[in-house]
Chain A
Amino acid sequence: MAPPRGEVLPGTLDLIVLKTLDVLGPLHGYGIAVRIQQVSEDLLKLNQGTLYPALLRLEQRGWISSKFGVSENNRKAKFYSLTRSGRKQLVAEAASWERMSALMARLLEGVERA
């Protein structure tokens, strides 16, 4: 049986998007969605539509920027790319996420043993 698909944890979508853009460079919305699905091996239950408000939020904060380009299938598309302050934000957020997940792991060790 396939493992249950997890919900996107609140607040993590931003980090996921930033990381995706960091790794792949400028991408359009569809590209980001495809990439996230690939990496999570379809374990993540993502309504792809929710990406767009998140992208807007990130752009408003100045962490990503957007400009129009031409997609692989020759259509006009909006490409998002990481800005400098976005990269800084990614580093900070990734560090804090690692701390948090390590902490959670430690806390949950006991649970598993019990």
Chain B
Amino acid sequence: MSWLRMVGARLRGFLHAQRSDAELEGELQAHLEALTQKNIGRGMSVKEARYAARREFGGLEQMKESYREQQGLPFFETLLRDVRYGLRTLAKTPALSIVIVVILALGIGCGTALYSLIDACLFHTAAQTYPTVQRWEAVRAYLPGQKRFVNYLSVPEIREVKELTELFEDVGAIHGDSFTLGYGEFPERILGTHVTASAITMTHRKPILGRTFRDDEDRPGGPAVTVLSYELWQRKFAGDRNILGQVIRLNSNPYTIIGVMPPRFGLWDGDLWIPLQLNWSDTNRGDRQNWIIAVLREGVTEQQANVRLQALSKQLEKQYGTTLPEYRDWNLSVWNIEDLVLGGVKPAFYVLAGAVGLLLLVVCANVAILLLARSTARMREIALRAVLGASRGRILRQMLTESLLLSFAGGVFGIAIAKACLPLLVHLIPHLWLTTEPELIQVNHAALGIACGIAGVTGILFGLAPALQVGRQDFAETIREGGAKISGERGAHSMRSILVVAEIALSMVVVAGAALMAQSYHRMENIDLGFRPEHVLSFEIGLPETKYASASQIASFFDRSVRAMESLPGAESAGVASGRPLGDRTSDLLSRDFTIEGRTAGDARGPENAIFRIVSPGYFGSMGVRLVQGRTFSEQDGADAPRTAIINEAMARQYWPAGDAIGRRIRLGVRYGRPEAFSNLPPDDTLATIVGVVSDVKQIRQIDFPVRPELYVPLDQQSNPPRIMNAVVKSRREPAALTAAIRGAISTIDAEQPIYDVDTMDQLVADSFGPKRLTLFLLLFLAAVVLVLASTGLYATLAYSVSQRRKEIGLRMAVGAQTGDIRRLVVSQGTVLALGGVAVGLAGSLALTRLMQSLLYNVSASDPLTLLCVAMTLVGVALLASYVPARRAMSVDPMSALRSE
């Protein structure tokens, strides 16, 4: 406890230093007075007495000093002195100090803001939305013949995977669906997900209200219960905590609410979940409607699981390969769900995060250059202090204080900039591009800390450099030379050159990355989408099963709505299709196996497979799909007419490379994907004749993905048409203005029927460019910041060098050098540095941009033209940065420069 009292007393002393100083003074004077009196009493003269008293008392000032040290907090007092002195020194070169602080602040602020945005948009939110539990895997099949993965599997297959208990703790099945939610006045289309009881518990997320499904609810004929998402609960039920037990209608069937999940629980992107109620005794292997999700046992690696799954695949191939051609050479394997969810965004994330890292490095190099320049200029002062008796530790401490002051100021402003910059960035970027809710984008404190730390360490290291040289130099020499020629200068000079070269090299990498990305984006923007999105409105209609039970009811509804829409004023044409282009996910697409008449069913490559779309005749014209060969569907392709089909160019190229596809006949087989849209599509034995070839329409949102073979069949010829269709309307004017009229037209056919997902195709195209555009935008921003920083560094180095060489330049001019020679002198120094940086940067770019190849569309990561342009840009910027100091050198007055020392 006594140390505590000690600290308390010292703190009091520290705080009341003024008062107790006066007290002490009084006490001491009294003491000396008494001593003097005593001495006078002994017969001394007043003067003698006073002198003797002083001698007896001892060193007065030394005593006061030790008293003060004893009394206050000497460390802090020195610190305060150092800080005051440091601030004064920094203020002596305000421009340099401000530039250093600004660069630090910009680096820390922009870097952190960008990183936070990247992290929130690409990574963090995705991870938060999709619970990504370790060892959580999907099981999918690879069909080598078609070079594609099949994500949907049949009940017998799920059962067989479930039996591999040595691999998996738990195996569940899941598939996405959409429903018409009947609650309140207007029906609404929502997304729902069918899950086995264990699928939610696998994620280790607990409901915030109620419970999730029990095993006895997950049986055929089990109770109709549902768990809501937090978002639906808020939106539709206003967060009512008494919601449990209430009944909602999904596709007109009553479901009891039993639970609510926490916010942003996005298991397969649903508004709600219902039990899958799988019939485990189903034996139909061709009916593949569900994803398999499973949790690996502790200690089982993915490799081990894949080896075992391969054995299972071989066994199934042997057993069923003859009757089910898709089993030929197929291979089951696990797919980590984190990779599944984040796989698409990881490359962009790493590239952007890497670019932020490079930005920070450039900032550090820049600050180092400036600090080195600053401190070499102070060598003389340091030497003087050392000569006057300052210990090395004391000088180090002073320098450290100054560096810390700069770093601290940089950090504080950096934090402020990060906080201010992030909302600004979020505001600047169209929200359509953001992959997350803007309010979820917060300053990432870990990143902020790391950025501040790195900047601080740089400041300390390079601020201390001159002080560390103190011990190694001849002070007298330094002072005599006037600080112009100091032993440390040569070292500092080459150090600065190295830093400038490094800085230019680093910025070259970032700029090259951004340029490649811009190139790729440009090529992607000019991509042929295969359709014309201008003036096209599209929306979805989902007919309830209860009301539209028969095929003829469905067909008649769509037929009538197409006519109603076509006759709207402003509408040019209309059509419906079982899916629109630029779909959300590959898994949402329906595909079908097929066989070609006259060719062996499923040769060595396994079954043929193509994306499958059911369309009305008006679809092609409304969507602007180009006809390449033959004809599109028309009224003549009715229910009783011979079956017809239209294929895309990719399919024509693959199966009829000679261009003779028209007139060939195909037979449709097993279907895959999106079960709810096509509840019953049995293999069809009827042959369909190919009547036309159309352009390759981009099937999914990843525009850079190649288009797969696709076949279209007419809606009228379907014995079991889908209940969910996408309508497309081509308008003469701004298509969104038609929305109200369309709603009205549909309601004249069925007043209760809602329409959903109303989008213009232009919007969908813009959407699908979103993440790429965001990546590009951020990279360009980073490149610009980095470029500015690098040129500042080069400028600072050259400017400093010019100021140090004033005398030399003056001499040169005095003996006849022209201003042009002087300019050349400085600019050539800059050019050498720039060329060195660009050379290193080129090597670095070639090595590093390869990592972003997966982000690039139709551009090689080592595209020579792009790299050349970037190199030239950098050299140009470098020349510009050298020109200003060159001008200053040229304006040196030889007489004053020579006289100035």
Contacts and interface: CB of A to CB of B under 8 A. Distances in A.
Interface in B173-194: none
Interface string B1-40: 0100110011001000000000110111011011101000
Interface in A22-39: 28-30, 33
Contacts of B31: 29-30, 33, 48
B864 interface: no
Contacts of A75: 30, 33
A49 interface: yes
Nearest to B29: A75
Contacts of A62: 2, 5
A57 interface: yes
Given A75-B30, A77-B30, A52 B63 contact: yes
B66 interface: yes
A61 B35 CA distance: 28
A65 B2 CA distance: 15
Nearest to A54: B70
Contact of A52 (B2, B9, B10, B28): B28
Interface in A62-112: 62, 71, 73, 75-78
Interface stretch (B54-62, B126-134, B552-560): B54-62
Contacts of B37: 73
A53 B63 CA distance: 7
Nearest to B12: A60
A28 B23 CA distance: 13
Contact of B35 (A48, A57, A77, A78): A48
Contacts of A47: 56-59, 63
B756 interface: no
A49 B5 contact: no
Interface in B47-89: 56-60, 62-63, 66-67, 70-71
Given A47-B58, A49-B59, A60-B9, A77 B2 contact: no
B57 A60 contact: no
A16 B13 CA distance: 25
A49 B28 CA distance: 8
B5 A57 contact: no
A14 interface: no
Contacts of B57: 47-49
Contacts of A77: 27, 30
B24 A52 contact: yes
A61 B67 contact: no
Interface residues of B, number: 28
Nearest to A48: B57
B70 A56 contact: yes
B30 A61 contact: no
A29 B35 CA distance: 11
A2 B57 CA distance: 21
Given A47-B57, A49-B58, A49-B60, A78 B66 contact: no
A26 to B, nearest CB: 15
A73 B62 CA distance: 28
Contacts of A48: 31, 35, 56-58
A108 to B, nearest CB: 31
Contacts of B33: 75
Contacts, number: 65
Nearest to B24: A52
B632 to A, nearest CB: 98
Interface string B451-494: 00000000000000000000000000000000000000000000
A52 B31 CA distance: 10
Given A30-B34, A75-B30, A53 B66 contact: yes
Nearest to A57: B70
B9 A29 contact: no
Contacts of A57: 70
Contacts of A52: 24, 27-28, 63, 67
B63 A50 contact: yes
B27 A29 contact: yes
Contact of B9 (A33, A53, A59, A76): A59
Given A48-B58, A60-B5, A53 B67 contact: yes
Contacts of B35: 30, 48
Nearest to B26: A76
A53 B70 contact: yes
A73 B30 CA distance: 10
Most buried by B among A29, A49, A57, A73: A49
A66 to B, nearest CB: 10
Contacts of B9: 59-60
B63 to A, nearest CB: 4
A106 to B, nearest CB: 32
Contacts of A28: 27, 30
Contacts of B62: 49
Given A47-B57, A77-B30, A61 B2 contact: yes
Nearest to B71: A56
A33 B6 CA distance: 25
A78 B63 contact: no
Contacts of B59: 47, 49
Nearest to B20: A56
A28 B31 CA distance: 9
Contacts of A71: 30
B30 A30 contact: yes
A73 B38 CA distance: 12
Contacts of A50: 58, 63
A29 B37 CA distance: 15
Interface string B677-707: 0000000000000000000000000000000
Most buried by B among A29, A56, A57, A62: A56
Contacts of A33: 31
A49 B62 CA distance: 9
Nearest to B6: A60
A94 B220 CA distance: 93
A61 B2 CA distance: 6
A30 B39 CA distance: 14
B5 A56 contact: no
Nearest to B37: A73
A43 B3 CA distance: 34
Contacts of B2: 61-62
Interface in B477-514: none
Interface of B: 2, 5-6, 9-10, 13, 23-24, 26-28, 30-31, 33-35, 37, 56-60, 62-63, 66-67, 70-71
28 contacts: A28-B27, A28-B30, A30-B31, A30-B35, A33-B31, A47-B56, A49-B28, A49-B57, A49-B63, A50-B58, A50-B63, A52-B27, A52-B28, A52-B67, A53-B63, A53-B66, A56-B67, A56-B71, A59-B9, A60-B5, A60-B9, A60-B70, A61-B5, A73-B34, A75-B30, A76-B26, A76-B30, A78-B27
Interface of A: 28-30, 33, 47-50, 52-53, 56-57, 59-62, 71, 73, 75-78
Closest 3 interchain pairs by CB?
A: A47-B58, A49-B63, A60-B9
Given A48-B35, A48-B56, A52-B27, 11 more contacts: A28-B27, A29-B31, A30-B34, A30-B35, A49-B60, A52-B24, A53-B63, A56-B71, A57-B70, A60-B6, A71-B30
